[in-house]
Structures are given as C-alpha cells and as structure tokens.
Amino acid sequence: MYKLLKKEGRARRGEFQTPHGTVQTPVFMNVGTQGAIKGALSAEDLKNIGCQVELSNTYHLHLRPGDELVRDMGGLHKFMTWDGPILTDSGGFQVFSLATLRKIKEEGVSFNSHIDGRKIFMGPEESMRIQSNLGSDIAMAFDECIKIPSPKEYVEKSCDRTYRWLVRCKAALGEYNSRDDAVNPGQMLFGINQGATFKDIRISHMKKIAELDLPGYAIGGLAVGESHEEMYDTIEAVEEHMPQDKPRYLMGVGTPGNIIESVYRGVDFFDCVMPARNGRHGHLFTWSGIINIKNEKYARDEAPIDPMCDCPVCRRFSRAYVRHLFKAEEMLAMRFAVMHNLYFYNKLTAEIRKSLDEGSFAEFRGKYSKILDTRI
C-alpha cells in the first residue's frame, strides 16, 4: 500500500495506494468537513487546484445529512462527485471540542449535538459504521483528543482506553468491509497516537498501536495550544517508533513552515483548515510571505496575489480587484481567496516532493521554512 521511494535524512518521498488512486507523498489533504470546502469550492475546483486527497468529517456528516442517506446515495465519492481518495476523520476531535455535556465510558461517549441538542452516542463501532456508510478510502480510528495540558495520570488512562478502542475499531471495520453490500470494501484504518506532550507515554502508545499492523498511523492531539518546539519534539520522539513501511499523518497541522519542518522530521500526510479559514478573512499565502489583501496598499495594485503563483485566480485577477471584492463583501472574495490558498498548499507539497526527488530538500527547507510563515 505504501512505497517509500526515497529519503533525505528523515524526510520521506513515497506513494500510497488507495481504492480511488495513488497518492504522492508528502501530501496536504484539502479539508471539506461537510463534503464541501468552506469558501464555495466544488469537487471540480479541487481537481483544478491540484488536490490529491479530500478530507471530510464523520461527526458532521453523521449529524447532517446523515451517513445512511449518504450511503443510499452511493457513498461520499458519488454524493460529492469526487473520484479521488477521501479520508474521513473519526469524529473524536469534534465530540471532545464541539459537543456539550459529554460523558466518557469504556463503551464510548454520550453527548449532545451542537446543532439541535439531541442526545447521541458514539463509540468505536459506531464511528466505523458511519465511516463505512460514507465509503471513504481511509477511516480514522475513534480516539480521545486530550487537552494540553492535562494531568499525566489522566493522559495514561486515556491512552490505554484509546488503544482498546483502536482494537475494537479494527475488528468492526474488518467486519463491515467483509459485507457484500460494503460501499468501499477496500477501506483502510489508520491508528492515532496520543499522549499529549509526555514523550514516554507517546512512545509507549506508539509501540503498542504499531503491533496492530494497520495500513497507516497518525500523530494526533497536537496543534491544540502547545508551542511549535513542543510539537516538533513530540514528532521526533514518536517518529523513530513508527513503522517505516506505513504512512505517517500529522493531524490538523499547520502553517507552511510547520509542514516543511514536519516533513523534515519524517511526516507524510497533513491537513489543516488554516488555508481556507485564513483565506476567508483575507490572509493569503505567497512564496514571499503572508499578505492581508484588505490593506490599503493593495487598492491600486495591478499585480496578482502572488507573481510566482499560477493558480486560476493569480492567472486572471489583480490584488486590487480581490481587495475590492473583500471590501464590498462579495461572496466571490472568499471563493478566490480560498482557491488561491489551497492551491498554494497543494503546490507547496508538490514542490517539497520535487525537492526530495532532486535531493535538494535541505536547501528548500532553508529557503522557505521561515519566510512562508512571515507576515509582509
């Protein structure tokens, strides 16, 4: 499933085969939480901006429109007319961040919907059933996303429970995949490493879940308030205990610099709402740094958002026009900004792959790791 093509230090260049196509890694997955990119981008748009993998969320799609409805419509690929690979997050993060009055038991979590307040129960089996109905290519294990900081004793107990939940996820997805009416019988399960910023817990948990021989593994529970240095230290501690022949996914990260630095430390998969969220507020990524397109200095600027960018927006429209759209509160402003930012992130990982192919990643990292996160 995963083929390691080349390494430069810890940085990895690889390929990952899924039922809906081969993914070139490192890769940035474009986040379409509810089956759409916030910013009015369609599946066709994603193709045009170089997206390889689309990411949707189990929790949100379970609540609306309902995973059984999506199944009846032929699965998420057909529903949103996306023929490439899809990864679905398990819903664990949303259960612990959005839902109210939640109660954690060994069986799973009871909580109230953030939409209408109705009571819902979700555990490993329920998460796998929902993701099986959605028919994604990669299903994420149901886990507890621990707050940072948290008491070490609680983190240890939580990780033990997350491991037991992972064992149940593996059994449940295996059963769903074996059914004759499975939407995507080739659906793969990724396990998630937890442990807050306690390196010893992280390492112990990683060793345990690696024994389950899953198709891939993620590092979860980061980018939730810890410093960049703490995040990088945690990645370095865990990475050497992750299987070399399986893809590594850093969940919810991050800035362009975070991605470059994490590739340097051996990570293959990334996702983050940042390019879309920041874009909707006029913060645009360029190869020279981050600009706020709403600034007055762009009012008469005829240049594209980024002269080095060949996205559909930069090929046709000026900074002045995009700024005008924001000031006039036109919906087109968000669409253009999100399209540009996602193209930038997809192009960033494409350039990282190119540098690894050419043996020049160290030079690429030195040139871009800091500047891409700098506001100009």
Residue 183 has which token pair?
A: 């939407």
Tell me the per-residue pLDDT of 116-166, one tens digit each, with 9 for 90 and over: 888 889 999 999 999 999 999 999 999 998 888 999 999 999 999 999 999
Assigned token pair, 258: 């975070």
Cis peptide before 359 (omega within 30 of 0): no
- CA-angle at 286, arms to 283 and 292, nearest 5°: 25
Helix or strand holding residue 291 (H, E): strand 289-292
**Architecture field, domain 2-272:** Alpha-Beta Barrel (3.20)
Identify the band that residue 224 occupies on the pLDDT scale cut at 50, 70 and 90.
confident
Tell me the pLDDT band of 67, cut-offs 50, 70 and 90.
Answer: very high
Encoded tokens for 21: 């196509």
Q: Residue 98 has what pLDDT?
A: 66
Predicted confidence (pLDDT) at residue 111 exceeds the cutoff of 90: no
- Of the residues 45, 137, 268, 271, only one is catalytic, namely 271
pLDDT(99) > 70: no
Average pLDDT of the chain is 96
Element (H, E) at 181: none
Whole-angstrom distance, CA of residue 242 vs CA of residue 217: 8
Residues of the chain with CATH 3.20.20.105: 2-272
pLDDT tens-digit map of 245-297:
999 999 999 999 999 999 999 999 999 999 999 999 999 999 999 999 999 99
Q: What pLDDT is stored for residue 280 in this prediction?
A: 97
Structure tokens at 73: 């419509």
Residue type, 247: P
299-321 average pLDDT score: 98
Q: Rounded mean pLDDT of 307-327?
A: 98
Query: Can you give the pLDDT at residue 91?
Result: 77
Please, which residues bridge with residue 12 across strands? 7
The pLDDT-based confidence of 325 (bands split at 50, 70, 90) is very high
Per cent of the chain over pLDDT 90 is 90
Active-site residue flag, 89: yes
State the catalytic residue, choosing from 45, 67, 89, 268. Answer: 89
Answer yes or no: is pLDDT of 225 > 90. no
Neighbouring CB atoms inside 10 A of 288's CB total 13
Is omega for the bond preceding 307 within 30 degrees of 0, making it cis? no
Question: Catalytic site residue 271?
Answer: yes
- Give the Cα separation of 364 and 304 in Å (integer): 24
How many C-beta neighbours within 10 Å does residue 20 have? 19
